[in-house]
Chain A
Amino acid sequence: MGRGFQVTNRTTGDSFACGDGQSVLKAMEQQGFKCVPVGCRGGGCGYCKIKVVEGDFECGKMSKAHVPPEAIEQGEVLACRIYPLTDLIIECLPQPAAGLASKQTTTKALR
């Protein structure tokens, strides 16, 4: 791992180091933080969507259903598919996945 960058979640106050070429979600999981929900880890399910408030990053491929191009411009991206180029400040978004879950009328019985 290189020198790494610091990622701070301003919603929860958690802060952790992220190595060169490492995704924000992977760094978070490796260090035992739980401040972003973990889903498929492959850019597909949208579960780990966050907003990057400050800092630069590179993006891997993400599902357009969850991250349309205009969302990327606003820094709304999937933590499993972003690789910091500077220190980052992120915040949690209202969960689309969790939002859906709360709308699951019949499936409520399953929980």
Chain B
Amino acid sequence: MKKGVMRPGHVQIRVLDMDEAVKHYTDLLGLIETDRDDQGRVYLKAWTEVDKFSVVLVQADEPGCDFMGFKVVDEAALNQLEKDLVDYGVEVEQVPAEELKDCGRRVRFTVPSGHAFELYADKKYTGKWGVSSVNPEAWPRGLQGMKAVRFDHCLFYGPELAAVYDIFVNVLGFHLAEQVLDPEGTRVAQFLTVSMKEHDVAFIHHEEKGKFHHASFYLDTWEAVLRAADLISMTDTSIDIGPTRHGLTHGQTIYFFDPSGNRNEVFCGGDYHYPDHKPVTWKAEDLGKAIFYHDRVLNERFLTVLT
């Protein structure tokens, strides 16, 4: 049911070396640097995004993800969602406007898997990068590297998936698009959407709390995914796996790592989800095919290498 959560809005990623990270996310992924703040954080966006930033890099002693933010339709929805979270027993934290530059107040909460999320209603609207909002050209010139189209979703690893499901589905209005069930019927992976996309956020069961598997960026075509693979080789960037296709979501994908060991994905294609769609189920026994549709075998790294 619609509760006013609209879409993924931002992710704050911890990096060990800011200069290397900025080079990776701009020169290789093709994000655009839009600002920096007095904490030394660097703000980036993909070219089709209308708000000022979607990726925030912060230098830290250990890599990983600080939080992922979702934009909600308006302040009234934000107030209601905040109340709904509190009524559900979720502890919320107020992050004042401008803590992130040009972003309104944020309501932050941590789900039982150990991951922090935020809701916000306002962020500076800067429009798509390099194209006009009137008679826009097809794409802007001057994009770098993989020319990422948008920040798309994150995958997190942690425990308590059922409790996380309850918050996302019952309180925030997400839908379960795809799931992996073990032989006892326990859900060990959940792909949740608040849109027509197959996932806006996903979780895979893992005993340790709060682990970050990847941040994903959308590309237009399979050709663009292959070109991304070329760029990964040209730049001697650490590759995980791909290009290949997922069973889950059926997206075409490649995984690689940023210079601090955070995993990135660029992908294209994939299925769609309407609210009347029932969840797609994959059996845990067939997880190899569910995750890597062509190899049908998991690489151990995909399940265990996290930040």
Contacts and interface: CB of A to CB of B under 8 A. Distances in A.
Nearest to A42: B261
A74 interface: no
Contacts of B16: 42-44, 61-63
Interface residues of B, number: 34
Interface in A64-109: 64-66, 97-98, 100-101, 103-107, 109
Contacts of B258: 42
A38 B307 CA distance: 14
Given A106-B188, A107-B188, A107-B207, A45 B183 contact: no
Contacts of A40: 238, 257, 261-263, 305, 307
A41 B303 contact: no
Contact of B303 (A38, A44, A107): A107
B186 interface: yes
Contact of A104 (B61, B205, B238, B284): B205
A41 B284 contact: no
A62 B17 CA distance: 10
Nearest to A106: B205
Interface in B257-281: 257-263
Given A39-B305, A64-B62, A104-B205, A45 B261 contact: yes
B182 A42 contact: no
B263 to A, nearest CB: 7
B53 to A, nearest CB: 23
A105 B284 CA distance: 13
A3 interface: no
13 contacts: A44-B62, A61-B17, A62-B16, A63-B62, A63-B260, A97-B305, A100-B208, A103-B207, A106-B205, A107-B205, A107-B206, A109-B284, A110-B204
Interface of B: 16-17, 61-64, 180, 182-183, 186, 188, 204-208, 238, 257-263, 284-285, 287, 298, 301, 303-307
Given A40-B262, A63-B61, 10 more contacts: A39-B261, A39-B305, A40-B263, A44-B63, A44-B257, A47-B304, A63-B63, A65-B62, A97-B304, A106-B188
